[in-house]
């Protein structure tokens, strides 16, 4: 019997006793104001870009970044920033991986969504549906 379990935010999959993990941590983050994007570097040394426009609130020329750092309290899985106006925001690594369409992350995300839908597929017909078929 195939058993699949998905646990967020680490996306740990157990399939027939074997496990596969997609655990990514942020090593550093910088702001590239020329391209209007955050640049995150993971522990594996891979760089991912994330545009300012996708962040809420978005840095602008009128309200630029004042502070940018990797959030240690969130297990190095998010970056926080503060704008000159005092507004603060954060970008989670999952947002960055989805934006950059990282295949391993998208596969795990799809499996997670299918796992959520699976219990609904095996539900018995509702009484209204049963009456419609019988009538």
Question: Is residue 77 in a domain?
Answer: yes
Question: Is residue 131 in a domain?
Answer: no
Distance, in Å, from the CA atom of 124 to the CA atom of 94, rounded to the nearest integer, reads 35
Q: How many domains does the chain fold into?
A: 1
pLDDT bin (cut points 50, 70, 90) of residue 22 is low
What pTM was estimated for this model as a whole? 0.70
Question: Is residue 5 in a domain?
Answer: no
Question: Is residue 134 in a domain?
Answer: no
- What percentage of residues in the chain have a pLDDT greater than 70? 72
Question: Is residue 75 in a domain?
Answer: yes
Q: What is the reported pLDDT for 106?
A: 87
Question: Is residue 101 in a domain?
Answer: yes
Residue 117, phi then psi, degrees to nearest 5: -80, -25
pLDDT in tens, 71-93: 999 999 999 999 999 999 999 99
CATH code of the domain in which 79 resides: 3.30.2020
Q: Print the domain residue range for 67.
A: 25-120
Question: Is residue 14 in a domain?
Answer: no
- Averaged pLDDT score across all residues of the chain: 80
Contacts of 103 (CB under 8 A, 6+ apart): none
Question: Is residue 132 in a domain?
Answer: no
């Amino acid at each position: 019997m195939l058993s699949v379990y998905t646990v967020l935010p680490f996306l740990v999959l157990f399939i027939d006793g074997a496990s596969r993990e997609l655990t990514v941590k942020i090593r550093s983050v910088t702001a590239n104001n020329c391209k209007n994007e955050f640049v995150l570097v993971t522990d594996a040394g891979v760089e991912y870009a994330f545009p300012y426009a996708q962040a809420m609130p978005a840095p602008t020329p009128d309200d630029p970044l004042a502070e940018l750092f990797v959030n240690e309290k969130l297990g190095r899985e998010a970056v926080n920033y503060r704008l000159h106006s005092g507004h603060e925001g954060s970008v989670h690594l999952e947002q960055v991986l989805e934006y950059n369409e990282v295949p391993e992350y998208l596969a795990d995300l799809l499996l997670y969504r299918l796992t959520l839908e699976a219990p609904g597929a095996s539900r018995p017909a509702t009484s209204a549906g049963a009456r419609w078929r019988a009538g």
